[in-house]
Structure 1
Amino acid sequence: MGIPLDTASFLALFLETLLYGVFFTLYWLTIFVLFNKTGIQRQLLVPVATILLCIATAHLIIDFVRALEAFIFKVDTIGADTYYSDLASPLDLASKALYITQTTLADGVVVWRCHVLNHKSRFVAILGCIVLVVNAATGYYVVWSLSRAYALSKVSAAASGCITTFYTLTMFVSVVCTISIAWRIYQTRRFMPGGLATLLPVFIVVIESGALYATSVLALLISFLVGSNGEYIMLAVIPPIVGITFCLIILQVQFHVGGHSSSEQSSEIGGILTNLFRGRNTRDHNFNMQRVAVHITEEIVQSDNMSGKDSQPSSGGVFQL
């Protein structure tokens, strides 16, 4: 027996609020870490993280307003189930537009990381941009087609095909870029001294972050294809999951990858929080720890150990710590 639409919508709001709280907490930790960096790490990643938070916040506010209308203000007139069935509702369209914007921005960051890590390959950049443009156009076409539909009408065949295409391309970008980044890291670190010893934690960061996002999109695609109302749950939780994934990459590199023991990681995180609330400079001598540099998304010249030359990593690494 399928889950009722009003129940699925209420559960979606609950889970979205829960995950938004997680994202909000990780966002401030990430901002605190990034403000201690320089160059492109601060100039690009801080605005992206802030935009992701703003979109997730707007999405949550819209879902709260819709819940108030469905379960309180209009419960005696049309009912919650009928209210959520109106696919042409302006608030529902705005919510879907924010979802498409959030996923497109996140996919753009993933494609950019893949582009930088592959020696700023034009092929990767052009192919990635084409996929992103097609995916975004498909998603916004779905929003436009729903706005032209009659109230309480079903999704048309064309819109249904575009929705499937959008979900599939989103998952494709995440999986392909994650595999490409992981393979590039393996190629550049396997001949470095101690490279294999630190390779596993690096893979954990890359694979876990990509798997979390890709699995969410896969669940969304499956629920849509089988006609389950669980689709509405996934549509609500993916915007904060996108932000959580983005922040986890940065925080895992900062606290997990680099050879620290669990006690060292706990001490470092505790030191950050202590200095944050006390207003001290994070570069205080009590919090000065030597880190192992982990270059995850920077352009790295191929290791020349086999040819006898010295390899020099280029500057501007995205997550260079």
Structure 2
Amino acid sequence: MQIAVLNPDKAGLLSTVLETLLYGFSLLLFMATLYILLRGRPWSQVNRPMLAVACLLFILSTIHLGVDIDRLNKGLIVYRDIYPGGPIAWFGNPSQPSFVFKNAVYSFQTALGDGVVIYRCYKVWQSVWAIVFPCILWLGVAVTAAGSVYSCTLPSTDPTSIYAQQLGRWIKAFYSTTLACNLTATALLAIRLWMINNSVRKTRMGRGLTIPVLLIVMDAGMLYSMTLIAALVCFALESNGQYVVLDMVTPTISIAFYMVIVRVGVAQHDSSNGNTANTTLPRVPFSRSEHHGSSNQLKPMHVQIQVEEYTQDSGETGRRTPEKGENSRGHAV
């Protein structure tokens, strides 16, 4: 039984307003991300995959917001008096081409965001076996996303409801698989960081070498996961509040991606300026090391997260010398 707290037209208006606010925040984080990825580096050393993902997420968020603004114009102004059933029927019809298109944009952005979390998990574990289960879930995300978009275009016994039986099952499956994928990949990433922290703490002085990075990753993962849980609960209860949460998920995906790069970049900057004492901060390289020289030289290993330790000894702050396996800049090779 549908809980009619919000009519679809009111939910569409509220969701667009909230999405615009989140989009503005994501825009600021996007500019900060570009600054961190590009500052002081030649193009050959820029992490171009992460730069491409950041730009693509921003483009998708912009397209999604543009479609929602256009839907407001058509539903509340253009077709207000001529569409059968009025604005309520317009915003509640999942077969509207504009709704199908924005749902496709959201589905693609979700798959991209989940893929980035799995990629980070692989970079930390350095093992394909560690991401087998998350990859299976990611395939499930892709299949259910395609199924939900396709179901929107099919005839339905109730064309004014998104909770129709076939479409509703696809959407529930999509929410469930993307939530499971995100939680699993984030948990594996957190476990590995915790293992690294415990291993290094036994042989180094200082506090929690990777704890700051762990907290940043957990914050981003929980932000996205809580939004998905809210959307899944609203949809299961057949509440039109799911329209509001659904439009908020799109900029949230971008925010979760940007905040990891920005927060780690700020911590790295503070660490390099010597603003911390008797503490440890994460050091995450955002540039790609180029391999030059003969074939017998060691090739750089693209490690997503490295650690740089600062300790305080006799009132002076000193930097540890590079260990074997690191170069003078603190990058693993």
Same fold (TM over 0.5): yes
Count of residues in Structure 1 that have an aligned counterpart in Structure 2 = 282
Could you list the runs of 5+ residues in structure 1 that have no partner in the other structure?
266-290, 302-309
1:213 counterpart letter in structure 2: Y
Relative to structure 1, the CA distance from residue 131 to residue 40 in structure 2 (aligned partners, 3 Å threshold; closer, same or farther) is: farther
Shift of 1:195: 5.3
Tell me which moved more, 146-155 or 21-30: 146-155
Aligned twin of 2:29: 26
Relative to structure 1, the CA distance from residue 129 to residue 298 in structure 2 (aligned partners, 3 Å threshold; closer, same or farther) is: same
**Aligned pairs for 1:102-141 within 5 A:** 102-119=109-126, 121-141=127-147
**Aligned pairs for 1:62-101 within 5 A:** 62-78=67-83, 79-101=86-108
1:13 counterpart letter in structure 2: T
CA distance in 2, matches of 1:130, 1:30: 30
CA distance in 1, matches of 2:36, 2:245: 30
**Aligned pairs for 1:200-219 within 5 A:** 200-219=211-230
TM-score by length of 1: 0.79
Aligned twin of 2:194: 186
Relative to structure 1, the CA distance from residue 223 to residue 46 in structure 2 (aligned partners, 3 Å threshold; closer, same or farther) is: same
Relative to structure 1, the CA distance from residue 117 to residue 173 in structure 2 (aligned partners, 3 Å threshold; closer, same or farther) is: same
Aligned residues: CA RMSD: 3.0
Residue 184 of structure 2 corresponds to residue 176 of structure 1: yes
Aligned twin of 2:283: 294
Residue 245 of structure 2 corresponds to residue 242 of structure 1: no
Shift of 1:159: 2.5
Shift of 1:40: 7.7
Shift of 1:311: 6.4
Pick from 221, 224, 227: which aligns with 2:235? 224
**Cα deviation per residue 1:14-35 (whole Å; 9 max; x = unaligned)?**
0011111111111011011101
CA distance in 1, matches of 2:245, 2:226: 11
Aligned twin of 2:6: 3
CA distance in 1, matches of 2:326, 2:184: 24
Shift of 1:294: 2.1
Contact 2:124 2:303 in 1 (8 A): yes
Could you list the runs of 5+ residues in structure 2 that have no partner in the other structure?
286-301, 307-322
Tell me which moved more, 163-172 or 252-261: 252-261
1:6 counterpart letter in structure 2: D
Tell me which moved more, 242-251 or 158-167: 158-167
**Cα deviation per residue 1:237-278 (whole Å; 9 max; x = unaligned)?**
1111111111100011011467659x969xxxxxxxxxxxxx
CA distance in 2, matches of 1:175, 1:311: 35
1:57 counterpart letter in structure 2: T
Aligned twin of 1:147: 153
2:5 match: secondary structure: coil
Is the strand fraction higher in 1 or 2? 2
Is the helix fraction higher in 1 or 2? 1
CA distance in 1, matches of 2:97, 2:71: 10
CA distance in 2, matches of 1:40, 1:226: 49
Shift of 1:125: 3.9
Shift of 1:74: 1.2
Larger Rg: 2
Tell me which moved more, 189-198 or 219-228: 189-198
Tell me which moved more, 229-238 or 154-163: 154-163
TM-score by length of 2: 0.76
Contact 1:167 1:221 in 2 (8 A): yes
CA distance in 2, matches of 1:50, 1:187: 32
Shift of 1:229: 0.7
1:294 counterpart letter in structure 2: R
1:102 counterpart letter in structure 2: Q
CA distance in 2, matches of 1:187, 1:223: 37
